[in-house]
Structure 1
Amino acid sequence: MGFVVDKVSEDSFYENLLLGLSKVLERSPCVSKVTLKRIPGVRQADIRAWEHNNGVILPEDLRSFYSSCNGFLLTYEFSYDYKTTNEEERDYRTGIIQVNAINDVIRVYGYETKNNANVEHCGKRHSLTLSRESKVFELANVDENAKVVLVYPTTYSIPNIWFYWGQMSFSFLAEDFTTYFRMTVAHLGIPYWQYAFSKENLPETSREMFTIIAPGILAEDRNLVERHKYDLDNVNKIDPNIFSPSQGGSQGTNLERNVNVRSTENKTKERIKSKSVPKKGTSAKNRKH
């Protein structure tokens, strides 16, 4: 059965999924016409049919995502000339966050293959070798020369998210779909941001957009995927559970409950810590050891 929610919980679902991105974009005078297309999820039978036709199993977070919404599309217009009243004189650029509908997650060909598939990790670098058994599927189109792809090195391996660009070149983006979606939200859907993770240069127009509406992000690109670099408890995260159909309540209710629990735990730790600190004016002689 598909993902069905009432209007309030649907609003809550998208708000939590986007981590408040729409409000961030709307605060910039250079951004206008922020549009979110709401797409109902698909049935589990449709997901199983896709898996059967393609001979692979989708990872759990991506299965849950398609159960909640069959693809994703958020767009907005960016322009330096926001004060210009003449619409025809404005030079627009389109920001976009997109995930293909499940039937548009089609297989990609044309890459080099060898006898054995392998993913090598060497510090910050990842290298990918594919074989005839490997399968690559398009999750989103970046431009005529590049795509975001779901890569199965072998039929039964857990897939990762890669940037497929140029002449058969792959650049690693994320271990899983949830992390990739968090990355695209963090980059505000600025066009071609994926090139920042490749050997190609980020287009100058995209770099200018980062400078204006997302200053500092480019300097922190790698930290978005190298989790050991920062404290996960102090950053916004996408909980994979929000992709799942609600059970006995709205999506927002479950997330709010988690936030309240964490808040209560933090307050308890603060009270314990305050009790362990000697009161002001107590001498060292009067304290027991």
Structure 2
Amino acid sequence: MTTASTELKSKIIERLTLGVSQSLGKRQGICDVTIDQKGTVDLATINHWESTHCCTLPSDIKHFYSTTNGFLLTWKVKVKDELLPVGRMEINPIASLCKLSGYSTGSDGKSGTCSLMDIDTDVFEDPDGIYPHFDSRSRIFELDSCQNLGKVCLVFRNTKQGVPAKEADYWFLDKGLSWHFIAHNFQSYFRLMITNLGLPQWQYLFTNIGISPSVQQWYSLYAPISLEPEKDAEELNNSMPGKRSTASLDLNRVFKGKDKKKPTAAAAGLANQTASTRRKAGSPQPNKAQTVRGSASAALMKAATQSLYK
């Protein structure tokens, strides 16, 4: 790649990330903001992926891969003389956009004793087809491994065998195998990732689990807006599957430094709020069947997830 093309690619990536790398570089304590430069994906490669998986990629993520084959931005914080890796924003390259299979096989090539599909079939009923499934009802592809804290997935729901899947959503699969809706399209997901600066566990803001107290300190320093409680119940409702509205972002608030004003009493108690009030775009409320899933055998869950989280 020539110097001119490298500079052009850097400008494109900077626009794609809304200038977040420059914003991070100006913040106190942050250093080593690094963007991994990647090549582009040609149309033939995209068509091959689609034909292999019997899926049609949505236009926005297809345009993304045409611009860069994946994405990786990392940043560190200097604490005394030590550099701590904190932020990580990652989108898998198209070759790593692999299908999550719920089918387990033994060493002899035959079906194993249990699989992720067993959990779906036995205790997780979803008659309305709202949630992703590990069986033939969905086609699920890993977009980000989240440093083994879960998986962000591109999910084609309500699929039929032999019929190309077209409509996709973006979901987070936590370590307990619960699904949490994040965004309807790639543009919205990418902006949410940028808004949260790739801070650890940011995907858990969309769950009823929430982020850990130690991680809350990083959010208080660099992304306090992400900890604000929901202000509009209608906005939360509109973000659920079946509704195609996208919450607007105030980029001036997202990328400005931490407010130096004296915190209010409400802000001081923010760290103790329940995880449900911290949820930003929100996942669909767990139905009764999803709650029942938590009572599945511990041995079954452990065996089913061994291949998923190595």
TM-score, scaled relative to structure 2: 0.63
* 1:107-144, Cα deviation, whole Å (9 max, x unpaired): 11334445877444xxxxxx555652311000001132
Indicate how the Cα distance of structure 1 residues 138 and 19 shifts in structure 2: closer, same or farther if over 3 A, else same: same
**2:228 counterpart SS class:** helix
Q: Is the 8 A contact 1:117 1:131 kept in 2?
A: no
Q: Is the 8 A contact 2:101 2:134 kept in 1?
A: no
Q: Is the 8 A contact 2:188 2:246 kept in 1?
A: no
Indicate how the Cα distance of structure 1 residues 91 and 33 shifts in structure 2: closer, same or farther if over 3 A, else same: closer
- The answer for the alignment partner of 1:168 in structure 2 is 177
Q: How does 1:111-126 map to 2 (within 5 A)?
A: 111=116, 112-113=119-120, 118-120=128-130
- The answer for the alignment partner of 1:151 in structure 2 is 155
Flag structure 1 segments of 5+ consecutive residues without an equivalent. 121-126, 238-289
1:107 aligns with 2:78: no
**2:200 counterpart SS class:** coil
1:138 aligns with 2:147: no
1:214 aligns with 2:213: no
- The answer for the alignment partner of 2:203 in structure 1 is 194
Q: How does 1:1-289 map to 2 (within 5 A)?
A: 6-79=5-78, 81=79, 84=80, 87=81, 90=82, 92-110=84-102, 111=116, 112-113=119-120, 118-120=128-130, 127-128=131-132, 131-153=135-157, 154=159, 155-219=164-228, 226=239, 232=248, 235-236=250-251
Indicate how the Cα distance of structure 1 residues 118 and 62 shifts in structure 2: closer, same or farther if over 3 A, else same: farther
Q: Provide the alpha-carbon RMSD of the alignment.
A: 2.8
Q: Is the 8 A contact 1:113 1:132 kept in 2?
A: no
**1:143 counterpart SS class:** helix
Please give the alpha-carbon distance, in whole angstroms, between the structure 2 residues aligned to 1:24 and 1:216.
15
Q: Which has the higher strand share?
A: 1
Q: CA deviation at 1:22?
A: 1.1
Regions of 4+ moved over 6 Å: 221-225, 227-230
Q: Is the 8 A contact 1:151 1:161 kept in 2?
A: yes
Q: Is the 8 A contact 1:118 1:130 kept in 2?
A: no
Please give the alpha-carbon distance, in whole angstroms, between the structure 1 residues aligned to 2:13 and 2:41.
17
Q: Is the 8 A contact 1:117 1:130 kept in 2?
A: no
Indicate how the Cα distance of structure 1 residues 119 and 27 shifts in structure 2: closer, same or farther if over 3 A, else same: farther
Q: CA deviation at 1:188?
A: 0.6
Please give the alpha-carbon distance, in whole angstroms, between the structure 1 residues aligned to 2:101 and 2:128.
18
The percent of aligned pairs where both chains have the same amino acid is 27
Q: Is the 8 A contact 1:117 1:134 kept in 2?
A: no
Q: Is the 8 A contact 2:57 2:166 kept in 1?
A: no
* 1:136-169, Cα deviation, whole Å (9 max, x unpaired): 0000011324100001111524010000112321
**1:49 counterpart SS class:** helix
Please give the alpha-carbon distance, in whole angstroms, between the structure 2 residues aligned to 1:147 and 1:64.
22
Flag structure 2 segments of 5+ consecutive residues without an equivalent. 103-115, 253-310
Please give the alpha-carbon distance, in whole angstroms, between the structure 2 residues aligned to 1:129 and 1:104.
20
Q: CA deviation at 1:28?
A: 1.6
Q: CA deviation at 1:192?
A: 1.2
Please give the alpha-carbon distance, in whole angstroms, between the structure 2 residues aligned to 1:235 and 1:207.
22
For 1:166, give the aligned amino acid.
K
* 1:219-248, Cα deviation, whole Å (9 max, x unpaired): 167879859796x4x8449xxxxxxxxxxx
Q: CA deviation at 1:213?
A: 1.1
For 1:56, give the aligned amino acid.
C
Please give the alpha-carbon distance, in whole angstroms, between the structure 2 residues aligned to 1:118 and 1:144.
30
**1:217 counterpart SS class:** helix
Q: Is the 8 A contact 1:118 1:128 kept in 2?
A: no
**1:95 counterpart SS class:** strand
